[in-house]
Each structure stands twice: as structure tokens, then as C-alpha cells.
């Protein structure tokens, strides 16, 4: 990389330097290795190597990284190292004083009335740019925020033809009925971009099964094939150059009662009158509203062809358990919702019709894509209901890991006694399942004991020892309490790093017993939540 960095010494304009170094830093951005912070390892390794080289090329890299480093730690390390080399009389590059000095000029948002994507356009200039004294923009950063994927930043790039770009957007908004273009304050643009970056980092720093609801539908594929990686460091630096918003506008909050009122208004409308199964329709519209409120920036009334496809083919299969009658009703309920919500979102009839066409085209794929979890996992529907009382399909695997007996018929007849939502139920499950343990302390033997209540005879005295199925000593009350705390965390997915660590250990061939033992040790050793997450990340 230092050999390639020699090209930086020949560059004259700071934007060319920043683009080159941003691409260098982006070559490993988003790469994941279990237990390793790849970005920190390679970025700080680059700083250390450049410092050790003690050359002008090394100083050029350090000067640029001190401005573009994605984290404050990286920028501080690079800045200290650059000062060290400068003090040793290493010749600085000609652009050393101008790199990182771009100042914001204007900001805009471009998109369509469907509202799927916001193109945030921020213009900047250096003092050395032609026309800087008249306020002309020298270049523009364009960042794409995808609302169907939860508001992640999907792509970013830079153009030096800022005036031509803005003129194109204005002309398109004037000539195309569905196009939109509006000016933003630079401070508002910063808020929107920071939120987009935060959600993008949530996706890249978490496992697919443990992402927050907002970004459940986002995946690594949303960031591949574009130029976000190459422009990531530069885009972050430009966001830091924008002024902060003093009173950021928050997204609309939809509490449960407000969602219920919206559903009631829809179910009482003419558009829903032809829906034959009112119960299934009510359940389906609850999911439609939840997607709009939780994923789509608090906009349940927004409808579009892309949102329909994302909802049907990505979010529902990953997040929601539908009964067979709900699965059959969903396309028809969604069609009625589109006809009802579209005009309220101020969409023209042609846009509503286009959304309906997209729905019917996606219906066949939905039928094949949405797999019945009961059939897919070989579970009874009663077991699915016990494991997913909140219908959160993404939690199924970790809850089966935490309480595997909930998926069996062993507890079916006494489900209330083994309710994982209560401490008594959790303790009963763990007494039955704690590393293969069964409880012989009670008398007579019950139907949930290891031999299904077939004791050897009433003339035998009760045994007060707790033994495991392999004859070894059983778990103490303290051990059961620790396992209960771990199982409760797994059930709730808190913190997400816990289940991610468990999956990594399972992928390496460790048994469930070994994984539980490792996690219990980490929980016991951690000082606080931050320390716990750090320890789990290192597993």
C-alpha cells in the first residue's frame, strides 16, 4: 500500500487525494472475521507501517488518514504519527495544508413521490477551487438512503459536475410528475446522513438473525456492487464537515393505540368490505402497519411497488409467523390497503395502479418464498406458538437453543407450567433440561421426569439428590439461576452479540453444552454490559 501511496505525492488537488485514500480504506470496509475488528486491525496497522517507513509516501498516507479515518482513534493516531515524521524533517506533500478543508455550500434531497429512496446531495468547495470567491460549488457528495431496507445508506459517490447535476434534478422535477427535488439545510442533511450511516453500521456489525427491527430487511447485498465502500471514509468526513442540527426532527412515533385506530379505520372502509375473513384481515393489517411504522420511518400509509416487494418477499418471511389462512389472505388485504392508503399518501391513480400491478406480480413469489415455519423446522404449530408468542420469526433459532424442550411434545400437555415468560416456567424448563438433568428430589415421580413417571416402586424412599442423565452430579441452585439468566437473555436477544457468539461457537463444532458453559463463564466474568459485549465479540 505504501508503494501505491507514492502516487499521492504526484497529486495536486486535495479531492483526488481524498478519493484515493478513501478507496484504500474502503478495500477492507465491511469485511467481517469472527472475533476480529478488521477495520481497526488493518487501519491501525497501516498507520503503524507508514510511521515505521518514515518516508514522504508514509507521511502522505498519515496526513490523509488523519482527516479521513473512520474512527476518532484512527484519526488521532495518524495525526500524532504525522507530527512525529514532520518533526523528523520528512518532506510533506504539496497538498498537506488543503486536504480536509472542504466547506459545505448547499444541500438538497431528490427522489420520487413513492418515497422509496432519498438522494441526499451536498455540495462542497475548497478555497483553492475556481469560483470559490463567488460561492460556486466545486464538487458534490450524493448519498442514497433506502427506506425499504430500513433507512440504510445504500450507496454514495462524488462528482465534480455539481452544477450540471443540480440542473438535471431541477429539470426532472419540473418535467416528471412523480419526481421530487427540494432544498435542505446542511444541518438537516447531516442528521439524515448520520442516521443512514448508523443503520448501515448496525447491519454490517450484526448477524442477520439479531438485527434491530428497523433494519431486519437489510443485508450485505444492499451494499455490494455499488461504490459505498470506496467512498465510505470520504462521505463520513463530509458529514463531519456539515454543521450539526440544533433541534433534529424525530420520526413519527406510533404507539399501540394509534396503530389500532389506524387499523380500525381501514377495516371500516369500503376498500376492506370485500375481505371475507375479518380475523385474518385484522391480523394481516396489523403486520402491514407494523412494517410501515417500525421499518419505513413511521410512514404506514406510504405504498409503492418496491415497498410491496420488500414487505412480501423479504420482511414477512424473515420476521412474521403467519397462519395458513393469514398467508392466503395477505395479498388481498394488502391490495385493499394499497387502494385505501395510496390516495391518503397523495399518490395519483396511476401510481396506485402500478403498486397493485407489482403486488399481483409478487404474489406468486410470496407463495413460494414464505415457508411455513412449522413445516420448515418440523415443529407442531403449538410449539411455534410457545416459542414465538410475539410472532417474531427471527427469534426462533435462539429461543429453540435457549429452551429446546419448548419445541418438543414433552411439555405440550402442561404448557402453562413451562411458560418461559415466567420465572417459575423458566426454572421448570431448566430443571428438566439443564445439561441433560432431571430432578429426582420430589416424590412421587412425575410425568416430566426422565423415565416419564415410571418409578421402580412405591416402597422405595425418595432420593434427595439431583442427578444428570449420565449419572453425574446435578446442577446446584446457583448454577440453575445462572443458566436461567443466560436463557432469559437469549430469549430476549439481549445483547445481540450473545446469540452471535453462540452461533460462531456452534459453527466451529462445539456442542450446545460447551457453548452454554462458555457463555455462562463470559457472563460471570463481565464487569458491565460494555465489557460483556467486548468479551462476546472476542469469542
* Model confidence pLDDT, tens digit, residues 417-451: 777 777 777 777 777 765 444 443 333 333 333 34
Report how far residue 132's alpha carbon sits from residue 143's, in angstroms, rounded to the nearest whole number: 23
pLDDT band per the 50, 70, 90 thresholds, residue 62: very high
Indicate whether 51 pLDDT > 70: yes
pLDDT tens-digit readout, 3-37: 667 788 888 899 999 999 999 888 888 777 766 77
Of 248, 333, 234, the closest CA to residue 283 belongs to: 333
Of 501, 489, 491, the closest CA to residue 538 belongs to: 501
∠11-13-15 over CA atoms, to 5°?
Answer: 110
Mean pLDDT (whole number) for 375-398:
71
Per-residue cell: 212? 434491530
Largest Cα–Cα separation, the chain: 102
Residues of 409-444 as b/e, b for ≥16 C-beta within 10 angstroms? eebeeeeeebbbeeeebbbbbbbbbbbebbbbeeee
Write out the DSSP string of 432-450.
Answer: HHGGGEE--SSSSPPTTST
Per-residue cell: 302? 406510504
Report how far residue 533's alpha carbon sits from residue 523's, in angstroms, rounded to the nearest whole number: 10
pLDDT tens-digit readout, 257-308: 999 999 999 999 999 998 988 999 999 999 999 999 988 989 999 999 999 9
Question: pLDDT value at position 407?
Answer: 62
CA-based R_g, the chain, Å: 29
pLDDT tens-digit readout, 103-157: 999 999 999 999 999 999 999 999 887 765 666 778 999 999 999 988 999 899 9
pLDDT tens-digit readout, 243-253: 999 988 888 88
∠301-307-313 over CA atoms, to 5°?
Answer: 130
Write out the DSSP string of 304-351.
Answer: -HHHHHHIIIIIHHHHB---HHHHHHHHHHHHHHHHHHHHHTT--HHH
Residue 330, burial from CB neighbour count under 10 angstroms (0-12, 13-18, 19+): buried
**Cβ proximity of 169 and 108 under 8 Å:** yes
Per-residue cell: 65? 488518514
Kindly report the number of other CB atoms within 10 A of residue 57's CB atom: 21
How many alpha carbons lie under 13 Å from residue 477 in its C-beta half-sphere?
1
**Cβ proximity of 119 and 142 under 8 Å:** yes
Question: pLDDT value at position 473?
Answer: 45
Q: H/E element holding 47?
A: helix 38-53
Residue 383, burial from CB neighbour count under 10 angstroms (0-12, 13-18, 19+): buried
**Cβ proximity of 99 and 17 under 8 Å:** yes
Task: Determine phi and psi for 444, rounding to 5 degrees.
Answer: -80, 170
Amino acid at each position: 500500500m505504501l508503494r501505491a501511496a507514492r502516487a499521492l505525492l504526484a497529486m495536486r488537488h486535495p479531492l483526488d487525494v481524498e478519493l484515493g485514500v478513501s478507496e484504500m480504506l474502503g478495500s477492507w470496509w465491511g469485511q467481517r472475521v469472527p472475533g476480529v475488528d478488521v477495520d481497526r486491525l488493518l487501519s491501525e496497522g497501516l498507520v503503524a507501517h507508514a510511521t515505521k517507513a518514515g518516508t514522504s509516501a508514509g507521511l502522505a498516507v498519515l496526513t490523509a488518514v488523519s482527516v479521513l479515518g473512520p474512527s476518532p482513534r484512527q484519526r488521532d493516531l495518524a495525526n500524532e504519527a504525522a507530527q512525529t515524521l514532520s518533526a523528523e524533517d520528512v518532506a510533506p506533500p504539496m497538498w498537506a495544508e488543503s486536504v480536509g478543508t472542504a466547506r459545505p455550500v448547499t444541500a438538497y434531497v431528490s427522489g420520487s413521490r413513492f418515497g422509496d429512496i432519498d438522494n441526499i446531495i451536498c455540495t462542497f468547495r475548497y478555497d483553492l477551487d475556481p469560483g470559490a470567491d463567488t460561492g460556486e460549488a466545486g464538487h458534490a457528495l450524493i448519498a442514497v438512503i433506502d427506506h425499504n431496507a430500513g433507512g440504510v445508506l445504500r450507496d454514495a459517490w462524488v462528482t465534480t459536475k455539481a452544477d450540471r447535476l443540480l440542473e438535471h434534478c431541477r429539470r426532472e422535477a419540473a418535467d416528471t410528475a412523480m419526481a421530487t427535488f427540494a432544498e435542505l439545510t446542511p444541518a438537516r442533511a447531516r442528521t439524515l446522513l448520520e442516521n443512514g450511516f448508523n443503520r448501515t453500521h448496525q447491519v454490517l456489525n450484526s448477524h442477520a438473525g439479531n438485527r434491530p427491527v428497523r433494519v431486519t430487511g437489510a443485508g450485505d447485498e444492499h451494499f455490494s456492487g455499488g461504490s459505498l465502500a470506496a467512498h465510505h471514509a470520504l462521505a463520513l468526513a463530509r458529514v463531519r464537515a456539515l454543521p450539526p442540527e440544533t433541534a433534529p426532527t424525530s420520526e413519527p412515533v406510533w404507539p399501540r393505540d394509534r396503530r389500532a385506530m389506524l387499523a380500525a379505520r381501514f377495516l371500516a372502509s369500503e376498500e376492506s368490505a370485500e375481505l371475507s375473513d375479518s380475523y385474518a384481515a385484522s391480523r394481516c393489517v396489523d403486520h402491514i402497519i407494523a412494517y410501515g411504522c417500525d421499518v419505513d420511518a413511521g410512514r404506514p400509509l406510504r405504498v409503492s411497488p418496491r415497498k410491496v416487494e420488500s414487505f412480501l418477499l423479504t420482511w414477512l418471511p424473515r420476521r412474521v409467523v403467519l397462519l395458513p389462512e393469514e398467508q392466503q389472505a395477505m395479498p388481498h388485504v394488502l391490495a385493499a390497503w394499497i387502494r385505501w392508503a395510496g390516495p391518503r399518501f397523495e399518490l395519483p391513480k396511476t401510481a396506485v395502479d402500478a403498486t397493485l400491478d407489482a403486488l399481483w406480480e409478487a404474489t406468486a413469489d410470496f407463495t413460494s418464498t414464505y415457508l411455513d415455519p412449522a413445516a420448515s423446522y418440523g415443529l407442531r404449530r403449538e410449539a411455534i406458538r410457545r416459542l414465538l408468542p410475539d410472532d417474531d420469526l427471527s427469534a426462533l433459532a435462539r429461543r429453540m437453543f435457549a429452551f429446546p424442550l419448548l419445541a418438543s411434545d414433552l411439555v405440550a400437555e402442561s404448557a402453562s407450567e413451562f411458560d418461559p415468560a415466567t420465572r417459575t416456567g423458566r426454572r421448570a424448563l431448566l430443571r428438566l433440561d439443564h445439561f441433560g438433568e432431571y430432578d429426582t428430589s420430589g416424590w412421587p415421580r412425575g410425568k416430566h421426569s426422565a423415565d416419564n413417571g415410571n418409578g421402580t416402586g412405591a416402597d422405595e424412599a425418595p432420593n434427595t439428590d439431583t442427578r444428570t442423565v449420565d449419572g453425574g452430579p446435578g446442577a446446584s441452585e446457583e448454577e440453575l439461576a445462572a443458566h436461567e439468566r443466560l436463557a432469559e437473555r437469549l430469549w430476549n436477544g439481549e445483547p445481540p452479540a450473545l446469540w452471535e457468539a453462540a452461533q460462531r461457537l456452534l459453527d466451529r463444532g462445539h456442542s450446545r453444552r460447551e457453548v452454554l458453559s462458555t457463555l455462562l463463564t463470559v457472563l460471570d466474568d463481565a464487569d458491565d454490559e460494555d465489557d460483556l459485549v467486548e468479551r462476546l465479540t472476542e469469542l
